[in-house]
């Protein structure tokens, strides 16, 4: 519904520009004029056409080649006069025109653009940031359009099915016996609600540390909130959910506003704990484990008596070690997932998204093995699981005894030191 | 299986240390590679897979390297003998040639077999060509961009436009028009450019930056060059014009003898914080030959100072332009020659000494403060260290007398992959200690723990001969190295092979970064040894600063040779020496 509303706003706003936007829709009389002019040129060209192409340098040929210029010039003289009457020196309008011309050139810019987006573009500091934002708008517009088309096709298909059903007789249906009414979704929601309440009472805490809003830009923050929503959803559907805490969540901060906006009415009925307090105030310090990919310590097992903290932080801006610094500041234990131990890592960051973290932790919690848990690591990032056979384990053991093999994570760290 | 194991036993040692291989493919690594190759020949090497999980990538690298080394052993040795200076132009290129990534860039498959016509076609022929075309985009689009790519003649493009216009009621799309304009500009067909300009003016109220740029470039050579300035104004309404736009306008103005406009545009360009193209600056010098005017000469000298302040280096042809201009100044009798500078910092051409690389006291203090504030502290002390450690370090530095040499322990120790780390470090430290230098070794705490590669007795000997500071294992040691060196004073040097680019990037602005680079050139010692056991030799330190400089009656201008690729952290080696005949 909201999409429709927005679209209509766009259309009304664009009206003054439509004349400019579609300069190629020409009145029929004018079209006749063009074709008449052109015919003149084309007819003058006919004799040359019959000649073989060798003599392409002949003067009549030259004249024919320039023909389109005259039509181009003459045809639009009137068009311009109408447009230029509404000419104004507004930078917003100028930007709009620039974008429109870019679109004509086949650049990746949106077709429709709202006043607000236009202002955002004007605020962009550099040329490349403008282009980036325009591309984002372009892709968004394309996806929206594709979705809209899909929706219409689905609606049409549904309509057809309905018609076909109406033709059939419905008596058959009435005779059948059912045990349940078709209320699956509601029942499921209620069941998940019960489980959620149980988790609130007896569940293992899992903390999302929301202290990173200053480190993120608008887009990153947006992504983080999406990931948080998804993690909460995964948790809700699990057999044995965590009791989720959103710590350091400032009321009326950016996070809070975005979350409340995305959840809507559901925000107040959510079966999680949100607090402005820090996790170190809520739990004993020695039972907290901060999960961060920069940690030198590798997580070996999932401990059911510990409180795991996940930083809700999407870092596209190259700030390595921010969460490790936070953990160091509060003197917390840190751990990272044993990705290198189990996976043949190929490309990509060792930082995983929040929902992937959540699924891995849930799987570990439900007595899943590491192999099973790490299936949630995106396939593109690794080439496969490492199998540690009996033979090689023996071999490793022997190496350890011979003391040629580095012990512990710290040694590994030292080895990675670059020269 | 036992055979395989005995072959492998020596392996862990070297895959552990292979990060170093990337930088120093010396003799020692070559030996270990032979071992590796032996295993490979036995076809058992994949049984290692389970053993060194995280190292597939480096292993692959090893394989390629082993191949490379076997292929041309001789040439490799030859390359290593004349190893260029760390900061000299072209050094990085040479280093990269030593460990090549054998990646053949295969040509993209040809999608369309259609040949771009070489002669103007008539409409039937175009129709026929269109039928042959199969592709995602429209035919007109595709063929016009192909024409732009292979620079077809203007007539061919014109015949395409005529055909499109005939089909389309005399209308040609904007994109086709722009591509046509590109061809006209490329072939310098000024009259066509003006025609297209008229059409665009008639048809569109405003254009986009690409179209404007082409028009500016096309018009600046014509008699209507003043209109290109109006187009520049149009661009300015929405976005900042590019330096190329300014370049074209300035060249146009100079071509038409309008010097004031050119200088005005140049000022505007600098005002937008754009770095002018060297071409633009060259144009001013080229034009200056015909002008005998003090005002103009002063402005050219200002340009040279701009080069100095921004550490820009002219290209070879620009250097020639500068030389010709200086020699054309009447009455002053400038004489220019292309030379190099001796290691001692004396110009081979005139014998004058080039500016020393030392920072002035104010600059030095400024840099010291910035390193402390931005590189070590960085707004969050916990990121690179902890406040406790910082305090400990500050007290340590303050309590100890100034050092002569600060050593990056881990970097030095890992220089030779085959050798034991603590042994290498001890070797270097004792050799330097013999020269009565006051040493500081920076490291991490894990170096002190007794292990096979870090022997306690050797570390104790190190600690006897040098002061040591061991940071936490998860702290960064490089920032401490930088600060300790800066704190000790101007005479103090530091030893590491690290280029410190990540720390340079932490500095807030380009000016501080340049200051840091200058200081680094003057104070960094890189160990050049390729074999263990020989006497430690260092790369010589530049005693002079590679920058445009003057003493009033002489100018020394470093320049880039056309055929040498220079990386951003390298400096040119060739100079233009200008002095007045006496």
What backbone torsions phi and psi does residue B430 show, to the nearest 5 degrees? -70, -35
The per-residue pLDDT for A34 is 52
> Quick check: B178 contacting A, CB < 8 Å?
yes
Rounded Cα distance between B141 and B176, Å, is 7
Q: A306 near B363, Cβ under 8 Å? A: no
Rounded to a whole number of angstroms, the distance from the CA of B74 to the nearest CA of chain A is: 26
CA pseudo-torsion sign A185, A190, A191, A195: positive
Rounded Cα distance between A408 and A200, Å, is 37
And the tokens for B253?
A: 């103005």
Q: B99 near B65, Cβ under 8 Å? A: yes
- Element at B201 (helix H, strand E): helix B190-203
Contact criterion met (CB < 8 Å) for B165 and A72? yes
Strand spans (E) along B38-154:
none
Contact criterion met (CB < 8 Å) for A80 and B382? no
Per-residue pLDDT tens for A239-280? 999 999 999 999 888 899 999 999 999 999 999 999 999 999
Q: Name the pTM for this structure.
A: 0.73
Closest of B354, B282, B274, B349 to residue B315, by C-alpha: B282
Query: What number of residues does chain A have?
Result: 419
The nearest alpha carbon in chain A to B451 belongs to A403
Which residues are paired to B574 by β-bridges?
B340, B559
Cα–Cα distance list, A401 to B48, B384, B483, B581 (Å): 19, 34, 41, 77
B residues 362..401 contacting A (CB < 8 A): 380, 382-384, 386
Residue the block writes with tokens 């923050």 = A221
Q: A360 near B72, Cβ under 8 Å? A: no
Q: What is the 3-state secondary structure (H, E, C) of B210-252?
A: HHHHHHHHHHCCCCCCHHHHHHHHHHHCCCCCCHHHHHHHHHH
The per-residue pLDDT for A16 is 47
Query: Which of A12-16, A225-229, B384-388 has the highest average model confidence (pLDDT)?
Result: A225-229
Nearest beta carbon to residue A387 from set B50, B54, B172: B50
The per-residue pLDDT for A317 is 73
Contact criterion met (CB < 8 Å) for B410 and A77? no
The per-residue pLDDT for A74 is 63
Min mean pLDDT across A23-32, A143-152, A405-414, B410-419 is at: A405-414
pLDDT of A338 higher than 90: yes
Rounded Cα distance between A52 and A297, Å, is 81
Nearest beta carbon to residue A65 from set B158, B175, B415: B158
> Quick check: B145 contacting A, CB < 8 Å?
no
The nearest alpha carbon in chain B to A88 belongs to B205
> Quick check: B165 contacting A, CB < 8 Å?
yes
Contact criterion met (CB < 8 Å) for B383 and A80? no
Rounded Cα distance between A235 and A359, Å, is 8
> Which residues on chain B are in Cβ contact (under 8 Å) with A410?
446, 473
The nearest alpha carbon in chain B to A124 belongs to B239
What backbone torsions phi and psi does residue B196 show, to the nearest 5 degrees? -65, -35
Neighbours of A163 (CB within 10 A): 9
Contact criterion met (CB < 8 Å) for A419 and B166? no
Rounded Cα distance between B405 and B441, Å, is 9
Rounded Cα distance between B108 and B237, Å, is 40
Alpha-helical regions (H) of A218-351 = 218-237, 254-263, 279-282, 322-329, 339-342
> Quick check: B210 contacting A, CB < 8 Å?
yes
Alpha-helical regions (H) of A66-216 = 67-85, 91-104, 115-123, 127-167, 171-175, 184-202
The per-residue pLDDT for B64 is 47
Q: A14 near A97, Cβ under 8 Å? A: no
Closest of A49, A283, A125, A179 to residue B166, by C-alpha: A49
Rounded to a whole number of angstroms, the distance from the CA of B108 to the nearest CA of chain A is: 23
Q: B378 near B505, Cβ under 8 Å? A: no
Per-residue pLDDT tens for A44-103? 444 433 333 433 333 344 445 666 777 676 655 444 433 443 444 577 888 888 898 999
Contact criterion met (CB < 8 Å) for A56 and B497? no
Q: A329 near A290, Cβ under 8 Å? A: no
The per-residue pLDDT for B8 is 43
Q: B557 near B319, Cβ under 8 Å? A: yes
DSSP class of B315: B
> Which residues on chain B are in Cβ contact (under 8 Å) with A41?
166
Rounded to a whole number of angstroms, the distance from the CA of A9 to the nearest CA of chain B is: 25
The per-residue pLDDT for A65 is 65
Q: Which of B47, B123, B170, B501 to mutate to test the interface with A (most CBs of A within 10 A)?
A: B170
The per-residue pLDDT for B15 is 43
* β-pair type (B334-340, B574-580): antiparallel
- First and final CA of chain A: distance in angstroms? 60
The per-residue pLDDT for A126 is 87
Number of alpha carbons in the 13 Å side-chain half-sphere of residue A328: 22
Average pLDDT, chain A: 78
Closest of B4, B146, B78, B88 to residue B546, by C-alpha: B88
And the tokens for B60?
A: 């692959």
DSSP class of B372: I
Rounded Cα distance between A27 and A100, Å, is 22
> Which residues on chain B are in Cβ contact (under 8 Å) with A325?
380, 382-383
> Quick check: B402 contacting A, CB < 8 Å?
no
Residue A366 three-state SS:
coil
Rounded to a whole number of angstroms, the distance from the CA of A212 to the nearest CA of chain B is: 13
Nearest beta carbon to residue A98 from set B13, B208, B415: B208
Contact criterion met (CB < 8 Å) for A414 and B120? no
And the tokens for A374?
A: 């790490």
Q: Which of A416 and A284 is assigned the larger pLDDT?
A: A284
> Which residues on chain B are in Cβ contact (under 8 Å) with A411?
446, 451
Rounded Cα distance between B148 and B181, Å, is 10
> Which residues on chain B are in Cβ contact (under 8 Å) with A345?
54
What is B505-541 written as a DSSP string? Answer: HHSSSHHHHHHHHHHHHHHEE-B---STTSPP-BPPP
> Quick check: B116 contacting A, CB < 8 Å?
no
And the tokens for A333?
A: 């234990």
> Which residues on chain A are in Cβ contact (under 8 Å) with B451?
403, 407, 411
Rounded Cα distance between A384 and A342, Å, is 9
CA angle in degrees (0–180, nearest 5) for B254-B256-B258: 65
> Which residues on chain A are in Cβ contact (under 8 Å) with B416?
none
Rounded Cα distance between A284 and A291, Å, is 16
In the sheet with B439-444, reading across from the earlier edge strand, the strands are B467-471, B439-444, B405-408, B493-495, B524-525
Closest of A299, A312, A315 to residue A361, by C-alpha: A299
Cα–Cα distance list, B456 to A63, B447, B504, B547 (Å): 92, 9, 34, 47
Closest of B567, B574, B423, B478 to residue B96, by C-alpha: B567
Neighbours of B244 (CB within 10 A): 15
Rounded Cα distance between B335 and A135, Å, is 54
Cα–Cα distance list, A218 to A226, A255, B9, B379 (Å): 13, 10, 53, 21
Cα–Cα distance list, B496 to B86, B428, B482 (Å): 11, 12, 11
Average pLDDT for A179-193: 91
* β-pair type (B574-580, B554-559): antiparallel
Rounded Cα distance between B406 and B426, Å, is 14
The nearest alpha carbon in chain B to A83 belongs to B205
Which residues are paired to A208 by β-bridges?
A246, A310
Contact criterion met (CB < 8 Å) for A324 and B171? no
The secondary structure of chain B in percent helix, strand, coil, rounded to multiples of 5, reads 55, 10, 35
Neighbours of B578 (CB within 10 A): 22
Residue the block writes with tokens 């975005």 = A258
CB pairs under 8 A between A and B: 191
Neighbours of B245 (CB within 10 A): 24
The per-residue pLDDT for A374 is 93
pLDDT along chain B (582 residues), means of 10: 43 42 42 42 41 46 47 42 69 72 52 73 85 81 88 88 85 88 91 89 86 92 91 88 94 93 94 93 92 90 93 93 92 90 88 90 93 86 90 92 93 88 91 92 91 89 93 90 92 91 88 91 87 80 89 92 86 91 74
Q: How much of chain A, in percent, has pLDDT values that exceed 70?
A: 70
Per-residue pLDDT tens for A306-326? 999 999 999 887 778 899 999
Closest of B212, B207, B200 to residue A94, by C-alpha: B207
- Element at B288 (helix H, strand E): helix B278-288
> Which residues on chain B are in Cβ contact (under 8 Å) with A323?
none
Cα–Cα distance list, B109 to B105, B106, B457 (Å): 12, 9, 63
Strand spans (E) along A341-409:
343-345, 382-385
pLDDT of A334 higher than 80: yes
> Quick check: B236 contacting A, CB < 8 Å?
no
Q: Based on C-alpha coordinates, what's the Rg of chain A?
A: 32
The nearest alpha carbon in chain B to A385 belongs to B53
Using the CB atoms, write b or e for B555-577: b if 16+ within 10 Å.
Answer: bbbbbbbeeeebeebbbbbbbbb
Rounded to a whole number of angstroms, the distance from the CA of B53 to the nearest CA of chain A is: 7
> Quick check: B536 contacting A, CB < 8 Å?
no
């Amino acid at each position: 519904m909201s999409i429709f509303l927005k679209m209509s706003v766009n259309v009304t706003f664009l009206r003054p520009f439509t004349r400019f936007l579609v300069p190629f829709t020409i009145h029929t009389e004018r079209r006749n004029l063009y074709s008449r002019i052109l015919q003149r040129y084309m007819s003058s060209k006919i004799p040359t056409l019959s000649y073989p192409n060798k003599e392409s340098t002949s003067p009549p040929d030259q004249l024919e080649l320039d023909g389109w210029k005259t039509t181009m010039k003459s045809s639009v003289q009137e068009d311009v006069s109408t447009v230029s009457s509404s000419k104004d020196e507004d930078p917003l309008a100028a930007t709009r025109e620039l974008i429109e011309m870019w679109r004509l050139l086949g650049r990746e810019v949106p077709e429709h653009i709202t006043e607000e987006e236009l202002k955002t573009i004007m605020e962009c500091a550099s040329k490349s940031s403008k282009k980036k934002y325009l591309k984002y708008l372009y892709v968004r517009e394309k996806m929206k359009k594709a979705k809209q088309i899909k929706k219409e096709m689905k609606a049409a298909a549904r309509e057809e099915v309905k018609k076909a059903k109406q033709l059939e007789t419905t008596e058959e249906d009435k005779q059948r016996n059912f045990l349940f009414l078709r209320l699956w979704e509601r029942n499921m929601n209620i069941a998940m609600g019960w489980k959620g309440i149980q988790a609130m009472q007896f569940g293992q805490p899992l903390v999302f540390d929301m202290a990173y809003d200053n480190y993120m830009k608008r887009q990153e923050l947006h992504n983080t909130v999406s990931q948080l929503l998804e993690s909460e959803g995964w948790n809700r559907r699990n057999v044995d959910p965590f009791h989720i805490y959103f710590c350091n969540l400032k009321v009326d901060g950016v996070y809070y506003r975005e979350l409340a906006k995305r959840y809507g009415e559901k925000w107040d009925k959510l079966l999680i704990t949100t607090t402005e307090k820090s996790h170190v105030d809520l739990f004993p310090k020695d039972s907290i484990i901060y999960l961060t990919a920069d940690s030198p310590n590798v997580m070996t097992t999932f401990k059911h008596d510990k409180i795991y903290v996940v930083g809700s932080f999407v870092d596209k801006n190259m700030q390595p070690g921010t969460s490790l610094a936070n953990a160091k500041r509060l003197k917390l234990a840190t751990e990272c997932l044993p990705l290198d131990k189990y996976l043949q890592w190929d490309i990509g960051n060792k930082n995983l998204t929040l929902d992937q973290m959540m699924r891995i932790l849930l799987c570990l919690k439900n007595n899943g093995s590491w192999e099973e848990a790490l299936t949630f690591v995106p396939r593109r990032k690794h080439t496969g699981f490492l199998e540690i056979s009996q033979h090689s384990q023996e071999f490793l053991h022997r190496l350890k005894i011979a003391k040629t093999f580095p012990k512990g994570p710290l040694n590994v760290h030292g080895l990675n030191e670059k020269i | 299986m036992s055979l395989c194991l005995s072959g492998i036993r020596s392996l862990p040692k070297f895959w552990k240390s292979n990060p170093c291989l990337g930088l120093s493919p010396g003799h020692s690594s070559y030996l270990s590679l032979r071992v590796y190759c032996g295993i490979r020949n036995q076809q058992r090497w994949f049984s290692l897979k389970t053993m060194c999980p995280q190292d597939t990538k480096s292993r692959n690298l090893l394989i390629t390297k082993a191949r490379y080394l076997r292929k041309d052993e001789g040439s490799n040795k030859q390359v290593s003998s004349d190893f260029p200076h760390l900061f000299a132009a072209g050094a990085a290129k040479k280093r990269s040639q030593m460990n090549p990534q054998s990646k053949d860039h295969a040509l993209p498959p040809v999608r369309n077999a259609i040949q771009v016509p070489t002669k103007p076609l008539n409409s039937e022929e175009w129709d026929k060509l269109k039928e042959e075309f199969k592709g995602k985009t429209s035919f007109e689009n595709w063929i016009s961009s192909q024409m732009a790519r292979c620079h077809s003649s203007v007539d061919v493009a014109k015949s395409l436009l005529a055909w499109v216009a005939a089909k389309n009621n005399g209308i040609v799309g904007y994109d086709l028009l722009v591509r046509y304009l590109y061809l006209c500009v490329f072939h310098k067909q000024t009259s066509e450019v003006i025609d297209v300009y008229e059409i665009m003016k008639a048809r569109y109220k405003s254009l986009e930056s690409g179209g404007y740029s082409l028009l500016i470039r096309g018009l600046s050579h014509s008699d209507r060059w003043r209109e290109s300035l109006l187009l520049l104004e149009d661009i300015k309404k929405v976005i900042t014009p590019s330096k190329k736009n300014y370049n074209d306008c300035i060249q146009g103005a100079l071509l038409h003898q309008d010097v004031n406009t050119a200088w005005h545009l140049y000022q505007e360009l600098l005002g937008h914080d754009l770095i002018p193209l060297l071409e633009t600056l060259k144009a001013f010098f080229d034009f200056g030959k015909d002008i005998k005017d003090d005002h103009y000469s002063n402005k050219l000298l200002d340009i040279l100072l701009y080069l100095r302040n921004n550490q820009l280096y002219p290209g070879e042809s620009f250097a020639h332009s500068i030389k010709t201009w200086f020699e054309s100044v009447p009455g002053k009798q400038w004489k220019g020659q292309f030379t190099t500078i001796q290691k001692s910092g004396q110009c081979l051409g005139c014998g004058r000494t080039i500016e020393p690389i030392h920072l002035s006291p104010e600059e030095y203090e400024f840099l010291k403060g910035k390193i402390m504030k931005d590189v070590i502290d960085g707004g969050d002390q916990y990121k690179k260290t902890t406040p406790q450690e910082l305090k400990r370090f500050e007290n340590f530095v303050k309590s100890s007398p100034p050092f002569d040499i600060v050593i990056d322990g881990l970097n030095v120790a890992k220089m030779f992959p085959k050798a034991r780390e603590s042994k290498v470090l001890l070797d270097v430290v004792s050799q330097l200690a013999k020269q009565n230098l006051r040493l500081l070794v920076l490291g991490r705490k894990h170096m002190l723990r007794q292990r096979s590669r870090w022997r306690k007795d050797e570390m104790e000997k190190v600690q006897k001969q040098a002061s040591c500071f061991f940071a936490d294992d998860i702290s960064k040691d490089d920032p401490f190295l930088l600060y300790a060196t800066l704190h000790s004073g101007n005479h103090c040097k530091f030893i590491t092979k690290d280029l410190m680019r990540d720390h340079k990037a932490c500095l807030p602005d380009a000016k501080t970064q340049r200051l840091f680079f200058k200081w680094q050139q003057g104070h960094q010692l890189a160990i050049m040894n390729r074999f263990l056991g020989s006497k430690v030799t260092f790369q010589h330190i530049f005693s002079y600063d590679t920058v445009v400089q003057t003493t009033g009656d002489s100018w020394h201008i470093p320049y880039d040779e056309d055929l040498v690729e220079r990386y951003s952290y390298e400096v040119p080696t060739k100079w233009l020496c200008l002095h007045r005949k006496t």
